[in-house]
Amino acid sequence: MPVLFDLPLSELRSYRPEPSGPADLDAFWRATLAESRAAAGAARFEPYDSGLRTVDVYDVTFGGYAGQPVRAWLLLPRHIEGRLPCVVQFVGYNGGRGFPHEYLTWSAAGYAHLVMDNRGQGSDGHTHAVTADPDPSGAPQTPGYLTRGIGSPQTYYYRRLFTDAVRAVDTARTHPRIDPDRIAVLGASQGGGTAIAAAALGDRVAAAVVDVPFLCHVRRAVRITDDHPYRELATWCRTHRHAVERAFATLDYFDGMNLAARATAPALFSVALMDTTCPPSTVFAAYNRWAGAAKDITVWPFDGHEGGAAHQTAEQFRFLAATLA
Amino acid sequence: MPVLFDLPLSELRSYRPEPSGPADLDAFWRATLAESRAAAGAARFEPYDSGLRTVDVYDVTFGGYAGQPVRAWLLLPRHIEGRLPCVVQFVGYNGGRGFPHEYLTWSAAGYAHLVMDNRGQGSDGHTHAVTADPDPSGAPQTPGYLTRGIGSPQTYYYRRLFTDAVRAVDTARTHPRIDPDRIAVLGASQGGGTAIAAAALGDRVAAAVVDVPFLCHVRRAVRITDDHPYRELATWCRTHRHAVERAFATLDYFDGMNLAARATAPALFSVALMDTTCPPSTVFAAYNRWAGAAKDITVWPFDGHEGGAAHQTAEQFRFLAATLA
Amino acid sequence: MPVLFDLPLSELRSYRPEPSGPADLDAFWRATLAESRAAAGAARFEPYDSGLRTVDVYDVTFGGYAGQPVRAWLLLPRHIEGRLPCVVQFVGYNGGRGFPHEYLTWSAAGYAHLVMDNRGQGSDGHTHAVTADPDPSGAPQTPGYLTRGIGSPQTYYYRRLFTDAVRAVDTARTHPRIDPDRIAVLGASQGGGTAIAAAALGDRVAAAVVDVPFLCHVRRAVRITDDHPYRELATWCRTHRHAVERAFATLDYFDGMNLAARATAPALFSVALMDTTCPPSTVFAAYNRWAGAAKDITVWPFDGHEGGAAHQTAEQFRFLAATLA
Amino acid sequence: MPVLFDLPLSELRSYRPEPSGPADLDAFWRATLAESRAAAGAARFEPYDSGLRTVDVYDVTFGGYAGQPVRAWLLLPRHIEGRLPCVVQFVGYNGGRGFPHEYLTWSAAGYAHLVMDNRGQGSDGHTHAVTADPDPSGAPQTPGYLTRGIGSPQTYYYRRLFTDAVRAVDTARTHPRIDPDRIAVLGASQGGGTAIAAAALGDRVAAAVVDVPFLCHVRRAVRITDDHPYRELATWCRTHRHAVERAFATLDYFDGMNLAARATAPALFSVALMDTTCPPSTVFAAYNRWAGAAKDITVWPFDGHEGGAAHQTAEQFRFLAATLA
Amino acid sequence: MPVLFDLPLSELRSYRPEPSGPADLDAFWRATLAESRAAAGAARFEPYDSGLRTVDVYDVTFGGYAGQPVRAWLLLPRHIEGRLPCVVQFVGYNGGRGFPHEYLTWSAAGYAHLVMDNRGQGSDGHTHAVTADPDPSGAPQTPGYLTRGIGSPQTYYYRRLFTDAVRAVDTARTHPRIDPDRIAVLGASQGGGTAIAAAALGDRVAAAVVDVPFLCHVRRAVRITDDHPYRELATWCRTHRHAVERAFATLDYFDGMNLAARATAPALFSVALMDTTCPPSTVFAAYNRWAGAAKDITVWPFDGHEGGAAHQTAEQFRFLAATLA
Amino acid sequence: MPVLFDLPLSELRSYRPEPSGPADLDAFWRATLAESRAAAGAARFEPYDSGLRTVDVYDVTFGGYAGQPVRAWLLLPRHIEGRLPCVVQFVGYNGGRGFPHEYLTWSAAGYAHLVMDNRGQGSDGHTHAVTADPDPSGAPQTPGYLTRGIGSPQTYYYRRLFTDAVRAVDTARTHPRIDPDRIAVLGASQGGGTAIAAAALGDRVAAAVVDVPFLCHVRRAVRITDDHPYRELATWCRTHRHAVERAFATLDYFDGMNLAARATAPALFSVALMDTTCPPSTVFAAYNRWAGAAKDITVWPFDGHEGGAAHQTAEQFRFLAATLA
């Protein structure tokens, strides 16, 4: 129902719900990242024959959460010399790194482009994944990934995915063709939520490009929309009634609203007022808490979860050109 | 669309597609079961306060696949003395053992009743599960369980679930109140496919009660229906196009059509002619191959996947009373 | 659409719309019940071979509205001696008494259990009915039962069903194995609305167990939800535009909001905040008006019309054990 | 799904399934009609202020089944003199006689026009009914009218409706402005099935106009479509499994395929090849059995249940002008 | 979702959003009409054999926008003498003038009845059109008519349709059987919006009958409903993001809210509170701005876009009889 | 419904329905193309600032049908020297040329890439169009483009679009950076049907890449699927019943089955067996008639209209590299 169903724009602009981050949120992530970095060896960048002629493609394997192998593509514009600014992209729910020729935007725009695979996802008919998610718990879960291991922050799926994301930024920084001070994170939907996490938890992220992000203000989202994937969480709560508070306590460690308050990089967000997948109030809840002062948000009044789509890409060209210049 | 969409009944009666079982199917299962039995310790039966007054309930933990802990309920009719015939029940897709008071039929009918939990499932709004599925691969999968680990028979989800099922029968046999020679397996949909597997692979199963079974003649099912859960497999194939044959090769080890040819216990099947979840031709493909001579199938002409429901239960009362008498 | 669509919980807790009961509501029911009781003979309890071994089942025929024959099952736990507390259950919309083995909860919990058939219903694919509803008017109606005879309280379907319900309680009280002072009424949805009526209009009901009740605050319900069965009423109003007020005037005699104000037994309600079939404000409208002081309501925040399901049953075990002890 | 889903047109042209009429079909109807005619008094024709200026409208009450009062409109073109040919129209499922200004076609075309109300129907948001259906059984039924009293031909709803239809023709014949030898019956969907019955069972019907008729070859219809209203029958069968054959035995007395073989008036049928409500094979099953030699059928290849709509009306103008000239 | 989704009736009664009409609205229309009238020759009224006997039908061709040929039916009650009051009817979205026998109401009620065809529409399965819309721009548009030429008021589709409507009134006035002082405009949905325009912009319109009008308060409508046809506009805005304001600026010249303020004829509106196609607040926005003092609005509380249907027709009989007497 | 609903693959391989091309098909197209080429001036290639750094983008305007201006993008890989092979791409239904950054595949693969805009389309929420379709008839049409001007081949929309396509190839050939002997046409769905037309009717097309093409064997398609856009045609036929044969006669000039028999370039097709938008039999009808001997078709067994998607792109890299080398 792509109509205005959430708060009016005037209220969204100033919507600032109380953060729900637990006291040990920083400690949790500090420990997680330290352990994972310690477990990871050097990334491998293997040349890959993609059939393309203006882009050099590398099949990347780096150590993600707990040092587990995570795959990515690195695309370098073949004919541009010198150190490049880099876009590290995180893919949406159910997607994966697919083929290199599905991710041609940023190398064509002159950036090194690292596309991180989504562990265990990428099996829903579009971009496929090849990275495994060795699940440490295997606890009962609603089909999908949103409730995988939700019983505790230690076992939660997004602990692993967000750590992978931070490690993807680390990995980009190690490549000789990439300028370590000009790395941006970027993503839409789950990729947007992951970009928030990477900006908040990663090192020296120079810019964040966040479209219609998922996993923000989850306590509200699950009550105002029935669309996938938030629906998976409602289904889980409906089944495991006595564990509901535990699930939300887990989610607090990962909620974009809580993480955004720790992110300081210049940021360009986008939000769509008819988005029932990631309702606008949940996006603004994160955006309004974003700690960096250099931030902007594009509002698409007639869109659903597709958001600004290619129109927003044009905005991003301008934003990144200015920010990473 | 509860209409007749599959073959006409007259053709279904004699529908016998070629089995697709691989040469090492028996060896595969023999090894799997042997290893799992070796790894399993004795089952625990802990009294459980269910709020019921005519049934004694035990919270059971037994060693399933690879000896991993699997939960079950054991319900014993409190006031019936002596060794009891037993029904071992397997639950449908997305379900779990739930509460004991959701499974009162068979103890009321005078049977010991063991309800096995579904590892990793039970999170879809109805009967919940508490058993984990420590996934040895974590490979990318379509949301659900049907494609979990489908890359090889070694890692496939149903290797673990079917082994749990055989072990559930083993477990029932160890209980002092249960007559080891009068154990039936029973289930509908995924539970029916699991019951076929338990009857084919387990020891001394005395009867099988199989309703509208899932996972039979999968190569056909995925081409003639788009309903969940077969749809998950089509989605997986659409994504991982170059791994499709590998997936079907995996499924051959688990297909009820192949396993039924190894099952000899007296059996009562049911099938519904308007069932788009488990199409009737796939059910007959298994039924017609069932090796035991004492078999019958109830045909429900106007039903979808609900099959005979409570009407079929009445048939089952008669069948089990006669078979396990 | 399992999202929060009705009033917020804080407002629901104190939501008390004006009752709409007509001045002669009590007189109407007094006369109706007196006539029906006068017309009814003694109930018949015929032993029934249900295939069960821990429960004695009786096929009951009692005189309901206008003494018309109404069927029920009586299930008695076979091995428990003495006078038993009793649960009289009313079944949901479109359902019927079905098979005894579809109603095993309460005998297993140690109660006598009388399951009343729904006159004229029970033909929608699940529990079937066998009781006729000799309709005294046959006036044009929207498919279903909600608008059957809605032209006046005299001819309205629920006059007959609610009278049956009061008579079911009367009937339970006549059985020698049932303790006449420990009879509870219970039901969900239409069964919940019927339980409210039975508690309000019946004699000496000792407890009421009411889940997500239907037929409460109907004037509001029909305006805020389009789900069946309330939708039938909207459809009727759309067709018979000049008779709308007459229909609502009829409904006032049956509205749970009005009847609850006449019910004094200890009560356990449940409500689901995402229930679009019986919206939460309509449930609270009845609950908040319930005249008995010993009342409680379980709130399920993530559920639709399934409400607390088996989780709520566990609550009911505790409530009835304490109340009918 | 407005696609070709049934037999190809070439097969439909010669599709002649075996009739299923019981041996006493004629006796059943002879007795029913005789009793009803005996019970009926003279019809009343009361002038009605319709707000129209070219049509005289009468509110008609005649004795239908068992002499029960049935309502109708009679519309007479005000300015045409002499005895008029007459169209007796039967309304579709869930409809009623509504307002006179909803039925202006045939008086404008120069016919007397009698529109019979549908007893008990007319409550679904479009044309409303005012005629009651005093139901002699009240047996459990699926919401709707198709399974009302289906337990026996004596109690079946369509016994009453079809008798009303024959009586409507009788009634038209008694009016001084109507030429008794030029009475046509007409209807679409349920109205078409009713027109078949009226032509087969009524006296001296001069023409039949039958569009996309319902209630023909029901045994097949219920297996090849899930659309309402046939779906009601499938639902009933799913619930009352042990009474299925009884239901079909009842239907045989009313099936248009069986009745058409008794109809000899000139007839114009229409059928739509994409009609999933009344599948084309079921229409041809009746048409091909129609006993009259002067028959034709218009085939609409791209239509669903709307059939030829206003295009077919133009055909009917020509057919009736020629037939009743 | 036929529930109350818009403002409550009490607020609707006084809902008066700011008009959005541009300064040159009157000049725009004055010029448009002057040019079109200058380009138009005399209308042709050709007798048409409709198969009807109480109505004389003429196939009308008149000069509409830019003098382009527009078709209409004129129906005259054959047997009523003298000058007749006239109803000029505009048809709903996707409809056309169809067959004369689809428009029998008003001639039967004693009016001359002119049914204007919808240029370029009439191809959606119901009433067909035969009038072309020689599109002066052919600019990219969302399927449908709502965004055809929306880039400027000069090229917008409704400039042409509304001009046709004014010219239809002109045309009726030229017919010798029609009383030029008793011409009413009438329509529902798009026909209602067109009737508003014709009343506001046309000459000497004696009455306006407006049901659930489309194209009123469009800026709000497109944000609160996703139903067709407003959805087409949202889709267009989603695609042509940088032209959104231009589109709304175009719409302001055609918005019923702005035009109603220029209409002074006695008017009967209707509105349906559950209408998601033309939400009630948008209808009241036009009604409350209607400049004529003799106005009334019928409120249908339980209806969707069908509005009052035949019930409203009865109201209209009374209104027009009184107004045009 | 992604299941196998059309002919089995073995029959599809040899499915060769009779062509339906009219006798003057070649003459029709010869005249149309000659006139349009005569009317067209030289194309304009204006540099465009796309924000990309590895691609030079030109905003192209060329003379299409009747010399009318048609827009396109030309993308040239910036750093590859010399004459380039060229891919001329036609966009799917409802799409347009959008932004250059939405079409990065082929320049990245080393080709000149000309993306032709779809006249009048491009307004459905994804890639937008800017090219007008000055419609010479404006005849009533079903919303969409499939029935625009369908009354005759002269006025039909696809006469204009297909002519544009041939002219796009002409235009590419005039560019100094493009090798005139290595021009391929490419498209999916409507773009595939257009590519067939361009290959059949254009000059010296060196290769054709055709995915799941639309507009092939239309007479069959409209009878076996109800999906858009074929549904528009069924809707049109349902409305304009007496013009149906004329519409199909028009379509015969444009049907890919008829045009393919005139195409001799090496071709790579793809087809999806679960494609209900462009059913596989209609694709094979064109493929099997393709006149060139060097042809191949990729069959995707588990896909709907998305076809091979990025997997097929990889096949196309190989095919075009080999064919245009």
Question: What does the pLDDT look like over F68-97, one tens digit per residue?
Answer: 999 999 999 999 999 999 999 999 999 999
Length of chain A: 325
- Interface probe for F, chosen from D1, D3, D4, D299 (most Cβ of F below 10 Å), is D3
CA A154 from centre of chain: 19
Query: What phi and psi, each to the nearest 5 degrees, are found at residue D17?
Result: -65, 160
**F touches B, CB cut-off 8 Å, minimum 3 pairs:** yes
Q: Tens digit of pLDDT for each residue in D222-279? A: 999 999 999 999 999 999 998 999 999 999 999 999 999 999 999 999 999 999 999 9
* Identity at B67, one-letter amino acid code: G
* Residue D35 dihedral angles phi and psi, to the nearest 5°: -65, -45
Q: Tell me how close the Cα of D128 comes to any Cα of chain E, in angstroms.
A: 10
Instruction: Find the DSSP H helices in chain F.
Output: 9-12, 25-39, 105-108, 157-174, 190-201, 218-224, 230-239, 244-252, 256-260, 280-287, 309-323
Q: What's the mean pLDDT in B314-323?
A: 98
CA distance to partner chain E, nearest, from residue F325 (Å): 37
At which residue do the structure tokens 């449940």 appear?
C270
Rounded (10°) CA dihedral F132, F138, F144, F145: -60
Touching chains C and F? (3+ Cβ pairs < 8 A): no
Q: List the catalytic residues of B.
A: 189, 275, 305
Q: Residue E30: beta bridge partners?
A: none
Q: How far apart are CA E257 and CA E281, in angstroms?
A: 11
Average pLDDT, chain C: 97
Task: Summarize the confidence of residues D19-26 as an average pLDDT.
Answer: 95
Helix (H) or strand (E) holding D219: helix D218-224
- Show the tokens assigned to C59: 């096929």
Cβ–Cβ of A302/E222 closer than 8 Å? yes
Residue E191: CA atoms inside 13 Å, Cβ hemisphere, count? 27
Interface test with C, best of B48, B49, B52, B78 (most C CBs within 10 A): B52
Is D143 within 8 Å of C146 (Cβ atoms)? no
**Chain C residues touching E308 at Cβ < 8 A:** 241
C208, β-bridge pairs? C185, C267
Residues of chain B above pLDDT 70, percent: 99
Tokens for D126, please give them.
């479009």
| Residue A3 is assigned to a structural domain of this protein | no
Say what the pLDDT of residue A2 is: 52
The set of residues, in sequence order, having a beta carbon less than 8 Å from that of E46 and lying 6+ positions away, is E58, E59, E60, E61
Instruction: Give D-chain residues touching B311 at CB under 8 angstroms.
Output: 241-242
Q: What is the pLDDT of residue D1?
A: 45
At a CB cut-off of 8 Å and minimum separation 6, what does B293 contact?
none
Q: How far apart are CA B117 and CA E15, in angstroms?
A: 58
| C-alpha distance from A100 to closest chain F C-alpha (Å) | 10
Residue E207 burial (CB count, 10 A): 24
Give D237 to chain B, closest Cα distance, Å. 7
ipTM (interface pTM): 0.96
CA distances from C102 to B147, C107, C212, F204 (A): 34, 12, 20, 74
The reply to whether residue D51 touches residue E102, judged by beta carbons under 8 angstroms, is no
Pairing assessment for the beta strands C178-188 and C207-211 based on DSSP bridges: parallel
Closest to B273 in 3D by CA, of D241, A254, F48: D241
D270 is annotated as an active-site residue: no
CA D255 to chain CA centroid, nearest Å: 12
| Mean pLDDT computed over every residue of chain E | 97
CA gap A299, C219 in Å, rounded: 40
| C126–B101 C-beta distance less than 8 A | no
Task: Pick the residue from chain F with its C-alpha nearest to E140.
Answer: F120
Distance CA E85, CA E24 (A): 34
Taking CB atoms and an 8 Å cut-off, how many pairs form between chains A and F?
88
Please tell me the distance in Å from A234's CA to the nearest CA on chain C. 6
Q: Respond yes or no on whether the N-terminal peptide bond of residue F180 is cis (omega within 30° of 0).
A: no
| Neighboring chain D residues of E316 at a CB cutoff of 8 Å | none
D314–E101 C-beta distance less than 8 A:
yes
Structural Rg of chain C based on CA atoms: 18
Query: In angstroms, what CA-CA distances link B213 with B301, D56, E120?
Result: 16, 65, 54
What is the CATH classification number for the domain harbouring E39?
Answer: 3.40.50.1820
**pLDDT above 70 coverage of chain D, percent:** 99
Q: What are the two backbone dihedrals, phi and then psi, of residue F76, each rounded to the nearest 5 degrees?
A: -120, 130
Cβ pair B126:C309 closer than 8 A: yes
CA distance A11 to C258: 40
Please list, in sequence order, all residues whose beta carbon lies within 8 angstroms of the beta carbon of residue D64, skipping any fewer than 6 positions away.
Answer: D36, D40, D70, D119, D131, D160, D163, D164, D167, D168
d(CA B15, CA B21): 17
How many Å apart are CA C139 and CA C243, to the nearest integer?
Answer: 13
Active site residues of E: 189, 275, 305
Residues forming beta bridges with residue C55, ordered by sequence position: C77
Q: Which residues of C touch D132 (CB under 8 A)?
A: 137-140
Is residue D199 one of the residues assigned to a domain?
A: yes
What value does the mean pLDDT take over residues B104-110? 98
Partners of chain D (3+ Cβ pairs below 8 A): B, C, E, F
Sheet with F69-77, edge to edge strand ranges = F44-48, F55-63, F69-77, F112-116, F84-90, F178-188, F207-211, F267-272, F295-300
- Distance (Å, whole) CA E100 – CA E55: 9
Average pLDDT estimate for E280-289: 98
Tens digit of pLDDT for each residue in C291-310?
999 999 999 999 999 999 99
Residue F286 is predicted with a pLDDT of 98
Give dist(CA C75, CA D32) in Å, integer. 44
List of chain A residues with pLDDT < 70: 1-2
Would the CB atoms of A238 and C302 count as touching at under 8 Å?
Answer: yes
pTM over 0.90: yes
H/E segment holding residue D156 = none
Residue A74 in any domain: the answer is yes
Chain F residues whose CB is inside 8 A of the A102 CB are 310
Do residue F53 and residue A98 have CB atoms under 8 angstroms apart?
no
- Tokens at residue E324, please? 């045009």
φ, ψ of residue D90 to 5 degrees: the values are -115, 140
Domain count, chain E: 1
**pLDDT tens for residues C46-59?**
999 999 999 999 99
Half-sphere exposure of F140 (CA within 13 A, CB side): 28
CA separation for the pair F62, A168 (Å, rounded)? 46
* Cβ-defined contact of B142 to A123 (cutoff 8 Å): yes
* D289 in a structural domain: yes
Q: Which of B1-15, E91-105, F14-28 has the lowest mean pLDDT?
A: B1-15
Record the tokens describing residue C300, joined without a space: 């399920």
Q: Which residue's structure tokens are 């792509």? A: A2
Does residue D2 carry a pLDDT above 90? no
Decide if B1 is inside a domain. Answer: no
Contact B140 A124 (CB under 8 A): no
List CB contacts of A108: < 8 A, sequence separation 6 or more: A54, A77, F52, F53, F54, F55, F101, F104, F107, F108
Q: Which of B273, B238, B269, B237 is nearest to B256 (CA)?
A: B269
Contacts of D325 (CB under 8 A, 6+ apart): none
Contact C108 B104 (CB under 8 A): yes
Instruction: Please say whether the beta carbons of F135 and E134 come within 8 A.
Output: yes
Picking from E110, E314, E318, the nearest residue to D54 by CB comes out as E110
Tell me if B99 sits within 8 A of C314, measured CB to CB.
yes
How many residues does this entry show for chain F? 325
pLDDT at F3: 81
Q: Among F128, F138, F140, whose Cβ lies nearest the Cβ of E134? A: F138
Terminal Cα-to-Cα distance of chain A (whole angstroms)? 41
Q: Per the domain annotation, does C3 fall within a domain? A: no
Torsion sign over Cα F217, F222, F223, F227: positive
CB-based contact B208:B268 (threshold 8 Å) = yes
Using CB atoms, which chains have 3+ pairs under 8 A with E?
A, C, D, F
The tokens 């071709």 sit on which residue?
A: F267
Residue B202 lies in a domain: yes
Distance of CA F28 to the CA centre of its chain: 19
Between CA B296 and CA A211 the distance in angstroms is 58
- pLDDT at position F2 is 52
Catalytic residue, candidates A56, A211, A275, A303: A275
Q: Which residues of D touch C128 (CB under 8 A)?
A: 140, 239-240
Domain of A152 in residue numbering reads as 9-323
Q: Are E265 and E199 in contact (CB under 8 A)?
A: yes
| CB crowding E115-134: b at 16 or more within 10 Å, else e | bbbbbbbbbbbbbbbbbbbb
Question: Are the C-beta atoms of residues E237 and E219 closer than 8 Å to each other?
Answer: no
Q: Which chain D residues have any C-beta within 8 angstroms of a chain E C-beta?
A: 51-55, 77-80, 98-99, 101-102, 104-105, 107-110, 125-127, 306, 309-311, 313-314, 317-318, 321
Question: Is C238:E302 a contact under the CB 8 Å cutoff?
Answer: yes
- Interior CA angle at A262 toward A258 and A264, to 5°? 135
User: What average pLDDT does the segment C71-86 reach?
Assistant: 97
Q: Check pLDDT > 50 for residue D147.
A: yes
Q: Is residue F234 part of a domain?
A: yes
Q: What is the structure's pLDDT at B2?
A: 53
pLDDT band at B1 (very low <50, low <70, confident <90, very high): very low
Q: Which residues of F are catalytic?
A: 189, 275, 305
Provide the token pair at E307: 């509005």
pLDDT (0 to 100) of residue C2: 52
Q: What single-letter amino acid sits at E12? A: L
**Confidence (pLDDT) at C1:** 45
The structure tokens 């008695």 sit at C76
| Rounded Cα–Cα distance for residues D266 and D297 (Å) | 11
Cross-strand partners of F75: F57, F113
For residue F127, which residues of chain A lie inside 8 Å, CB to CB?
Answer: 310
> What is the rounded distance in angstroms from the CA atom of residue B228 to the CA atom of residue C21?
48
Amino acid at the residue C30: R
Give the span between the Cα atoms of D154 and D156, in whole angstroms.
6
**Cα(F244)–Cα(C292) distance, integer angstroms:** 71
Q: State which amino acid sits at residue C283.
A: V
> How close does chain D come to C154, measured CA to CA in Å?
15
- Residue-wise pLDDT for E187-199, tens only, equals 999 999 999 999 9
Indicate which of C10, C270, C302, C306 best probes the interface with A, i.e. most A CBs within 10 Å of its own CB. C302
Q: Is the pLDDT of residue D83 over 80?
A: yes
Query: How far does C268 lie from chain A, in Å, by closest CA?
Result: 19
| Inter-chain residue contact E239 with F130, CB threshold 8 Å | no
Give the model confidence (pLDDT) of F188-217 as tens digits. 999 999 999 999 999 999 999 999 999 999
